[in-house]
A and B are shown apart, each in its own frame.
Chain A
Amino acid sequence: MRKTTRAIAVMALATPAILGLTAVAEAQDKFKLGMMVGGNTCCEWMKAQGDVARALAEKEGWDYIELSNNNDPATALKNAQIMVQEGVDAVIQFNGQPSSNPAISAVMKQANIPIVTYDIADPGMYFVGIDNLGAGIAGGEGLGAIIKEKWDCNPDLVVSAEGAAAGIVNEWRTGGMRTGLKNICPDIPEAKWVSFESQGDAAVGLPAARDLLAAHPDAKKIAVVGLNDGGVLALINAAEQLGRADEVIGWGQDGAFITGDNVNPHLAGSVFYFLEGYAVYAIRDVIKPIAEGNVPPLKADAGDPASKVQPCPVTAEQAKAVPDMPERIAQLLAAPAGTTEFDLFCPNKG
């Protein structure tokens, strides 16, 4: 009797320990994905990139850790070190301030942790992203088609809404839009091309946009390109306030303000990247193969990426068929694994 009681007591005491050890072993076996989002204080899509990655990781049964780079290079580097301490198996990041990317690469390489970077290439990281220059050119050509039809390629002014803080991305997108517009309308004189610093924010860029219009008081037919929809809207709003919006036509990038029921009628089009859904590409083409033991070759070049995101240029009319971001995310997560938002929503796949 005493022996039986002792055996039961030992078993009772041992069970939690065995369960705990099993759980630890399971956790150690579980693939762990780290996500360093660009920041939670900028744009809806940055936060959404983390939300989608988390949902997809959970679907795969992986552990998931998320940190915010806070749009700050030092924070991004610190986050990389935390990821190493946490023992992640792979990392995805968007780092809008890529000056710390070489250091992050070195940290990850030393810890033998593969890292995917979105949109801004680094030699030590798998590149997943859009061809920003291609997206810019596609947008510029879309605007060019309208300018050619309406103004016979003869605008009074072509305004670039720059966002210098975005660095090379700004040059690719905004410069690409200028190139695309020149592809369609090659004879617009150099003197008609002007720029202002929009900071990629409609509200912040507004005074500078008003000043630019004031400095070109005779311009009526105004074409606007820019880093993103927000920057282009800064110029459009300024033109409305100065009573000169009748003949303003803008074409943005990123699709942030071309969907929904509050679209400015002077925003003629944009280019969707469906930024929030990048994790589908990263997980499908890089992370999942790594989790399955088939580490893909490092493709770090934007020209030969590990996974290429297709840009989706749309007119405002076409954009009406595209749901807003929360709805897109809901449909994306309900779709079969590997389905991209381009597949689901781009009305202009050609």
Chain B
Amino acid sequence: MSVDHALDTAPAAAPLKVRFGGFGNALLLLGIWLALIIATSLYRPDFLSHQTLLAVTFTMAVVGVLAIGQGIVAMSGGFIDLSQPANLIMSSLVAVRLTEAGLPLPLVIVGAILAGMVWGAVNATIIVFARLNPVIVTLATNFIGLAALFLVFQLAEVPIGSAIYQFGRASIFGLPAIFWPMLALVLVVGYLVPRTRYGRRMIAVGGNRTAAKARGISLRVTRYATFMVAGGFVGFAAVLFAATSGPFNPGSANALQLNIIASVILAGISLSGGRGNFWMLLLSVGFLSTLPTSLVFFGLSSDTQSIFQGFILVIAVAIDGWRARKATP
């Protein structure tokens, strides 16, 4: 399936109300999240503790930033970026190496973001010029990237005691320091996307490529920008990942993919493009980060957690399909 075909068969641009989400979806997701919290608290009252809050918010931080990147790709009609794990590890490796070279944390952050953007540019170049399906391209670049990373390193870790290591263990206002940038980014991106020229173009291209083209929007430029910006978010997530993960290997981020895609879909960001609200990511990422913690309080094993998460992904995809059909005039 070519990118043209994929985008041409995407549903037409939905009305604004649908695109930016009503309160219904948010209330539903919030209700499910609260029900989970209440049920767990009834079973184990000590669930409502600062330790639980820390565990959940730590998990939210990395997944949340990655979900922003994934959401941008999805909203622009690129479906999903399956190369996020390889990009995350590559950018994390850059962060580790820059830290080892003695660079201050701000420069480490800039370096990792640039590395992520370069990765996004590579994806965009292949997708735009070879006119290939983004899902297939990013699946391939993920394989290529991971294989190349295995040739470059087996294990990496930020130096214990370095600024980035301290950042990964610091807290601000009782929550992990790495949580706040995620929160800020979700809020800012959620505010800017429907209100800026680039954001509106991204939504237009995702909603209806033909109509966007007719309005004079450069599809190539938009796609390039989309993948580079999304890559930049992966680069920043890599800083948070490297700061907290301890020693990691090229395969250490593979397990994140399922949660990120589920978060995006649950947030109502359509994989077929043109619809979604980034603020909803706070609810979906929060819910999906709370779920494994709750299951541990219920005494369930990791295997059971995977079953729950798999079911949630299936339900989320079904809801996404239902939303797409509903939004099609």
**Partner-B contacts on A (CB < 8 A):** 40-44, 47, 164, 196-197, 201-204, 206-208, 210-215, 217, 230, 233-234, 236-237, 240-244, 256-257, 262-265
Interface size on B, residues (CB 8 A): 40
Please state if A203 and B55 are interface contacts (CB–CB under 8 Å). no
Interface centre among B146, B255, B302 (most CB of A within 10 A): B302
B245 at the interface (CB under 8 A from A): yes
- Which residue in B176, B245, B250, B302 is a CB contact (below 8 Å) of A196? B302
Say whether B301 contacts A197, CB under 8 Å.
yes
Residues of B within 8 A of A (CB): 44, 46, 49, 51-52, 54-55, 58-59, 146-147, 150, 154-155, 157, 159-160, 168-169, 171, 176, 241, 244-253, 255, 292-293, 296-297, 301-303
Q: Is the CB of A217 within 8 A of B46?
A: yes
CA distance A242 to B54 in the complex (A): 6
Q: Which residues of A contact B249 (CB under 8 A)?
A: 42-43, 201, 203
Q: Which of B171, B244, B250 contacts A206 (CB 8 A)?
A: B244
Contacts of B293 in A (CB 8 A): 210-211, 214-215
Shortest Cβ gap from B99 to chain A (Å): 11
**List of A residues within 8 angstroms of B248 by Cβ:** 201-203
Q: Complex: how many Å from CA A196 to CA B293?
A: 12
Asked if A204 and B49 make an inter-chain contact with CB atoms under 8 angstroms apart, the answer reads no
A237 to B255, CA, bound (A): 18
Question: Which residue of A40, A212, A217, A256 is within 8 Å of B49 (Cβ)?
Answer: A217
Contacting pair B171 A243 (CB below 8 A): yes
Indicate which residue in B241, B246, B296 contacts A233 across the interface (CB closer than 8 Å).
B246
Contact in complex: A202, B245 (CB < 8 Å)? yes
Q: Which residues of B contact A206 (CB under 8 A)?
A: 244-246
A45 and chain B: residue at smallest CB distance: B154
Q: List 8 A-B pairs, Cβ < 8 Å.
A: A40-B150, A203-B249, A204-B252, A206-B245, A213-B55, A214-B54, A214-B297, A244-B51
List of B residues within 8 angstroms of A263 by Cβ: 160
The listed residue (A164, A201, A210, A244) touching B59 by CB distance below 8 A is A210
Q: Which of A214, A241, A243 contacts B52 (CB 8 A)?
A: A214
Contact A210:B302 (CB < 8 A) given known A44-B155, A204-B252, A237-B244: no
Please tell me which one of the listed residues A47, A197, A262 contacts residue B157 in the complex, with CB atoms under 8 A apart.
A262
> A260's closest neighbor in chain B, by CB?
B157
Contact A207 B292 (CB under 8 A): yes
B246-A208 in contact (CB<8A) = no
A233–B171 Cα distance when bound, in Å, is 21
Contact among B157, B169, B247, B252 for A241, CB-based, below 8 A: B169
- Smallest CB separation, B65 vs chain A (Å): 15
Interface pair A203/B247, CB less than 8 Å apart: yes
**Docked pose: A242 CA to B146 CA in angstroms:** 31
What is the bound-complex CA distance between A221 and B147, given in angstroms? 41
Closest chain A residue to B243, Cβ basis: A241
| CA distance in complex: A211, B51 (Å) | 9
Residues in A with CB closer than 8 Å to B296 are: 196, 208, 211-212, 214-215
The one of B46, B51, B150 that contacts A41, using a Cβ cutoff of 8 Å: B150
Tell me whether A214 and B246 are in contact (CB under 8 A): no
| A-side contacts of B171, CB under 8 Å | 243
Q: How far is the CA of A213 from the CA of B297 in the complex (A)?
A: 10
Asked if A237 and B159 make an inter-chain contact with CB atoms under 8 angstroms apart, the answer reads no
- Per the bound structure, the CA–CA distance linking A244 and B49 in Å amounts to 14
Q: Given A233-B247, A262-B160, do A207 and B59 touch, yes or no (CB 8 Å)? A: yes
Contact A201 B292 (CB under 8 A): no
